[in-house]
Chain A
Amino acid sequence: MKTLVPAGGTGKAGESGGPGTPGTPGGGGGAGKARGTAGKAGRAGGQSYGGRISYAVLILFTAGSLFPLVWTAVAASRDNTRLSQTPPPFWFGSDLLPNLQTAWTDAHMGLALLNTAVVAGTITVGTVLFCTIAGFAFAKLRFRFREVLLMLVIGTMMIPPQLSVVPLFMTIAELEWTNQLQSVILPTLVSAFGVFFMRQYLVEALPSEIIEAARVDGANSIRVVWHVVFPAARPAMAVLAMLTFVQAWNDFFWPIIALTQDNPTVQVALTGLGRGYIPDQSVIMAGALLGTLPLLLAFTLFGKQIVGGIMQGAVKG
């Protein structure tokens, strides 16, 4: 709690407003506002170097980051013939609903979204739970081979997923799990990064005295985890949950091998769209929009925390 929450907080307080301008409401200001006051703040702050240029670069870069996303929506709201004309469309048209409908029915987007929600949700719960208890054990408990096992965990972060695909495929073929969600869920239910992340956090955030006190009061290890570790780890668990969810939602390589277009996750469905399953560009964009929207929505809500979490993970990792 001590380290993670302020990371997002200081970022906001320390960076967004100069000494004399405490009114900037974090990210809520929006582009227009930031743009309007940019030059002034640069000078007023006194500390800013080349204020105007900095803002110009940032605005340019932000526009580049957001443009493809906005344009996905633009293209999804046009019909296919308009997309194959120059100049390309820049503003929204009126075909969004029919395109979404076609993507929904023809590319199984509804089923895909449901599947992805199940897959990403299960993976997130599993990863957070298992990584927290394992991270706790590595951070605070003493046992034989602890250091060796921890090195093993860290080492496995380097193993590329390609290396396990063939045997995994053989296994699910043997079990006749092809096209079933558990074949996507089980292999990603734990993550070495998660264990390492939770360990790093708990080493500092969880004072050993509290564990001792709980033990003195007669709590066994499971009660200690439930009543002491989980409450203390909650901020890091939230960050890990968000990162895991984003990753699981976007995971791609293994799902397109394990699943087919009949029972896809969103990414598998999008792959089908891109590979000529549906030739209509505007429908493809509608599908891409459907697949991205839930995460972008979550991002606008939790963006600040996700940014804080990534920055926190970076300093520690």
Chain B
Amino acid sequence: MPRTAGEAGRKTAATAGRRTDPEADPKADRRAERRSRRYRRDVRWSPYLFISPFFLFFTAFGLFPLLYTGWASLHRVSLHEPTTMEWAGLHNYTRLLEDEFFWNALRNTFTIGVISTVPQLLMALGLAHILNYRLRGAMFFRVAMLAPYATSVAAATLVFVLLFGRDYGMINWALGFLGIENINWQTGHWTSQLAVASIVIWRWTGYNTLIYLAAMQAVPRDLYESAALDGATRWQQFRHVTIPSLRPTILFTIVVSTIGATQLFGEPLLFGGAGGQKGGPDHAYQTLGLYMYEQGWFNFHLGRASAIAWAMFLILLLIALVNWLVVRRLRRS
């Protein structure tokens, strides 16, 4: 497109030049020449001008730190003197592999990720299906279920800490009516992970619902009509029309939630209150993000923190690779 624009522009520049000077006026000729040169320069370089702010900031605050983290992970760096680095080779990494807290954090990140992402996406799918019908006050429901998204991690977690309180929390109080004894949501291994996951679920289900709803509304109506003509029930339509049409969107949300789950940080940090970087007294919900924070900013080992960051990056790449293979598999079948 811009090429044609360029041609058009050059032509007009030329005609404009001709218009102002009848036949021979070297001055005007030069002016036209200059204008068209300026024009060409503009067309050639303006794209770079327009993308340069993004790439400047991205290089300074994205790419450079990414690579530098890798470099720092090969050094001993203390928080007290972040500018003095002492070469350590792969020591930070080998140490990590022997570190039970690293494996613990990795396991926790995985389990909390699963128990937050799976119910969240399933619920979102069901809710989007309901919202896809003709409903009164549909916009009210959409806005209301997105409200948690506008709430910050910090604010949300602080409320949930109160709700999950062992002695006076509302959740244990309500469970009391079902004859369930007070559950210790702060220190129990599974219960605390469930509590942390519930904050994630609360904040993100509405958001994912909207994404699914958007994709559902893009499914052509006649697909449903012909399915109905073939005698498919609502459930069969959902399974055989809606779900297959949503496959790319579902994959997209899985990837996004997985990335989010790998980086889980604020919820476990604040759920633990003072000393939250440990993820509970027994490290029951210390995630990789928290562990990195603890190593860097509480144990002052920035080099180790960098190694954990890079380990997280490698895990993400692995997930991306698996995802890519799955997508390719799905496309073929």
| A and B interact | yes
Interface residue ranges, A against B (CB under 8 Å) = 7, 11-12, 15-18, 21, 24, 26-31, 33-34, 37-38, 41, 45, 47-49, 54-55, 57-58, 61-62, 64-66, 68-69, 71-72, 75, 83-88, 130-131, 133-134, 136-138, 140-143, 146, 149, 153, 156, 158-171, 173-174, 186-190, 192, 195, 208, 211-212, 215-216, 218, 220-222, 225, 246, 249-250, 252-253, 257, 266-267, 270-271, 273-276, 281, 284-285, 287-289, 291-292, 295-296, 298-300, 303-304, 306-307, 310-312, 314-315, 317
| Whole-angstrom CA separation of A48 from B9 in the bound complex | 56
| Whole-angstrom CA separation of A136 from B149 in the bound complex | 29
When A and B form their complex, what is the total count of cross-chain residue pairs whose Cβ atoms lie within 8 Å? 379
When distances are taken between beta carbons in the complex, the residues of chain B under 8 Å from A158 are 259, 316, 320
When distances are taken between beta carbons in the complex, the residues of chain A under 8 Å from B90 are none
Are B46 and A295 touching (Cβ within 8 A)? no
Are B134 and A18 touching (Cβ within 8 A)? yes
| Whole-angstrom CA separation of A166 from B163 in the bound complex | 34
| Whole-angstrom CA separation of A21 from B150 in the bound complex | 31
Q: List 19 A-B contacts (CB under 8 A).
A: A27-B139, A27-B143, A38-B136, A62-B141, A65-B148, A68-B160, A133-B51, A141-B50, A143-B47, A156-B58, A165-B305, A168-B61, A174-B82, A189-B61, A192-B58, A220-B46, A296-B151, A303-B143, A314-B249
Question: A140-B1, A310-B146 are known contacts. Are A190 and B134 too (CB-CB below 8 A)?
Answer: no
Are B64 and A160 touching (Cβ within 8 A)? no
Chain B positions 287-306 with a Cβ under 8 Å from a chain A Cβ: 289, 292-293, 296-297, 302, 305-306
When distances are taken between beta carbons in the complex, the residues of chain A under 8 Å from B284 are none
Interface size of B by CB at 8 A reads: 117
| Whole-angstrom CA separation of A166 from B71 in the bound complex | 11
| Whole-angstrom CA separation of A276 from B274 in the bound complex | 6
When distances are taken between beta carbons in the complex, the residues of chain B under 8 Å from A71 are 159, 163, 170
B156 interface hit (Cβ, 8 Å): yes
Are A291 and B137 touching (Cβ within 8 A)? no
| Whole-angstrom CA separation of A276 from B292 in the bound complex | 22
Shortest CB distance A139–B (Å): 10
Shortest CB distance A68–B (Å): 5
When distances are taken between beta carbons in the complex, the residues of chain B under 8 Å from A276 are 273-274
Are B2 and A65 touching (Cβ within 8 A)? no
Are B305 and A86 touching (Cβ within 8 A)? no
| Whole-angstrom CA separation of A175 from B323 in the bound complex | 40
| Whole-angstrom CA separation of A64 from B58 in the bound complex | 39
Shortest CB distance B106–A (Å): 14
Interface residue ranges, B against A (CB under 8 Å) = 1-5, 8-9, 12, 16, 39, 42-44, 46-51, 53-55, 57-58, 60-66, 68-69, 72, 77, 82-83, 123, 126-127, 130-131, 133-163, 167-170, 173, 202, 205-207, 210-211, 213-215, 217-218, 234, 249, 252, 259, 262-263, 265-266, 269-270, 273-276, 289, 292-293, 296-297, 302, 305-306, 309-310, 312-313, 316, 320
Of B140, B148, B157, which one neighbours A31 at CB under 8 angstroms?
Answer: B140
When distances are taken between beta carbons in the complex, the residues of chain B under 8 Å from A17 are 136
Are A166 and B58 touching (Cβ within 8 A)? no
Shortest CB distance A230–B (Å): 12
